[in-house]
Amino acid sequence: MTEDSKFHHGDPAATVAPIVEMKNIEKHFGNIIALAGVSFEVRPGECHCLLGDNGAGKSTFIKTMSGVHRPTKGEILFEGRHMNFASPRDAMEAGIATVFQDLAMIPLMSVTRNFFMGREPTKGSGPFKRMDVERMNAVTMEEMRRMGIALRAPDQAVGTLSGGERQTVAIARAVYFGAKVLILDEPTSALGVRQTSNVLATIDKVRKQGVGVVFISHNVRHALAVGDRFTVLNRGKTLGTARRGEITPEELQDLMAGGQELAQLEGSLGGTV
């Protein structure tokens, strides 16, 4: 297909080397093949959407990319180098951050403490060493402002934020601490229309900072709002990758729902399905 005019020229998917490449990844759990030769890549400043229905293999894929699982076969390249992540910490130190649906936040704790959890800056030394609360507060307020969220105060409890705002805290935190690739696991699945819109706007801001975004979703509309490329996963295999403008929402939905399989079944049963 010819490139659609909506597909922005100078697109990172066409010109820049990938940050992460996953080549022919297989993951077996005993006799169960969760991933059967999946290839996928993400480039700086690109939002690459991985779409699939429940049971398609999305969770296994995320966990393999982020160091939770080691692939049974295939290879992972990070900035052109072969990587063998032994743990999620290895992947995080390389620059792959994952924002899961449960967000791993403590609702009664302040936005600032959640933002810096485990990475608090200090000042002073020896017996006078203490957390640099002023710096933490200033950074949190500024980073949230950059993402379009005006906090009432840095000590505002995370539990008082909306679901979309909590997603934004998690995304801002990952980017601030050096994520080169951000994996978002169904970030809009439990959100209302306005909160979804805010999170999609946040993803767009992150992409413009040169971070590669892997957007895992089963919602075609949300993916099309921010995606540059779309890969459909079905039963542990990729059904292909399309760029923005090369595939319609209906075609994407059809692939996800196994529309091809249904069409074949209809043909074999003489259209009685």
Is the pLDDT score of 102 beyond 80?
Answer: no
Q: Which CATH number fits domain 12-104+214-268: 3.40.50.300, 3.50.50.100, 3.40.630.30, 3.10.129.10?
A: 3.40.50.300
Pair 251, 51: CB distance under 8 Å = no
φ, ψ at 75 (rounded to 5°): -140, 155
Determine the Cα–Cα distance for residues 89 and 75; give it in Å rounded to an integer: 19
* This prediction's pTM: 0.84
Averaged over 126-135, what is the pLDDT?
86
| Span of 112-121, 184-193, 249-258 with lowest mean pLDDT | 249-258
Determine the Cα–Cα distance for residues 61 and 112; give it in Å rounded to an integer: 31
Distances (CA, A) of 257 to 96, 145, 160, 252: 29, 39, 37, 9
| 110 confidence band (pLDDT: 50, 70, 90) | very high
**Domain residue ranges in the chain:** 12-104+214-268
